[in-house]
Amino acid sequence: MDQKFLFALTKPGKNGGKFLHFTAVGYYFLLTFGVLFTCIHIVYPAITKNQDEKFWNIVYLSYIFFNMMGNYFMGLFFQSDLKTGIALADPPKSWIYCKECKQHSPPRSHHCSICNACILKHDHHCFFLCQCVGLKNQRYFIIYNFYVAIGSVFAARWLLLYLAEYYIPLQWTLYSIFSYFFPGFLYNWLFTEIPVTFSSALCMLVFYGCLTTGAGCFFLFITQCILVIRGQTLHEFLKNRHGFRQKWSKNIVNVFGSFLFIFASFLFPLPLKSNEEKSPWGLPNFYKYV
C-alpha cells in the first residue's frame, strides 16, 4: 500500500484514522458474532449427540466469549495516553520533551501520530482497540489475544467437523484438500453436483476467519509474553533498547500484578492496576502538583 495513502487513512483528524479503525472493529465483531451464530444455531444442533453435550459446548463457548469481550472492553477503556500539555521548568533527566504535544513525558513514552498523543510505556498502535497498547491496557491486550486464539481453535474444530460431515469428508487426497480451499469450494459449488448449502458456505467462511484471526492472535500473545519477560515494549525492541530490563519474574509482576492475580485474571476479567503505574515510567505523584 502506498505510504501517502496509508498516512491519509490513519492521520489524526476528523476523518483520519477512522477508516482503518472502523474496518478492524467491524471485522472483529462480525467474525465474533458469526462464530457464535454458526456454532450455536448450525453446528452444535447438527453435530452434538445429545442435549447435554450441546449445552456444555455452549457454556464453554460463552465462557471464552465472556473473557474475550471483558478484556477487550477493558483494553479499550483503560487508555495510556498522556495529554497534560505541561512543560516542566526542571524536568527529571530521564524525561523526554515532545514537540508535538509541547510537554514533558516520563521515560518509555512515545508520541503516536495516529492517537495524536504521547503514550505511557508505548508498545504499538492497535486498530482493533482504536488506540495504542501501553502502560494501562497491555495486560488486558495480552489476555484478550489469548482468548481469541483459544476461541478460534475451539470453534474451528467444530466447524471442521460440520464440514466433514455435510460438505466433503476430510481425507488425505488431493481433491479433498483442494475442496477445503476457496477455489476448490467455488469449483464444487459451480461445476459439480456436490451440495453446497448456505450453511456450508457460512461455516467455511467463518472457519477461515477463525484460522487467520486465531493464528494472528496466537502470534501476538506469544510475542507479547516474550516482551514482558524481557522487560521491553515492541517499540523498545525495534529500537534495541534494554534500559528497563529487570529479573524476569519482576517484569511479569510489574505488568500483571502478583502471580495469584495472573491466575485470577486469566480466569475472569479483572480491572486491576498494574504495578508500573507508580513506576518511574508511570505518572509520579509530584506531577499532579506541578
pLDDT-derived band at 7 (thresholds 50, 70, 90) equals very low
> Average of pLDDT values for 74-100?
89
Backbone angles phi, psi at 173, to 5 degrees: -120, 155
> Average of pLDDT values for 159-181?
89
pLDDT value for 164: 93
Domain residue ranges in the chain: 25-289
Pairing verdict, β 117-119 and 81-82? antiparallel
Residue 128's Cβ-count burial label (10 Å; 0-12, 13-18, 19+) is: buried
DSSP for 218-235 reads: HHHHHHHHHHHHHT--HH
Q: Which residue has the cell 502470534?
A: 219
pLDDT value for 9: 47
Maximum alpha-carbon separation in the chain: 78
> Average of pLDDT values for 226-248?
89
pLDDT digits (tens, 9 = 90+) for 189-201: 888 888 788 999 9
**Reported pTM:** 0.89
Rounded Cα–Cα distance for residues 163 and 37 (Å): 16
Rounded Cα–Cα distance for residues 136 and 238 (Å): 21
pLDDT value for 93: 85
Question: Is 90 exceeded by the pLDDT of residue 170?
Answer: no
> Average of pLDDT values for 62-82?
95
| Assigned C-alpha cell, 158 | 467444530
Q: Which amino acid is at 245?
A: R
Question: Is 80 exceeded by the pLDDT of residue 6?
Answer: no
pLDDT value for 3: 46
Which residue stretches of the chain are H helix? Answer: 3-10, 18-37, 44-47, 51-77, 138-166, 174-179, 182-191, 198-230, 234-238, 248-256, 259-267
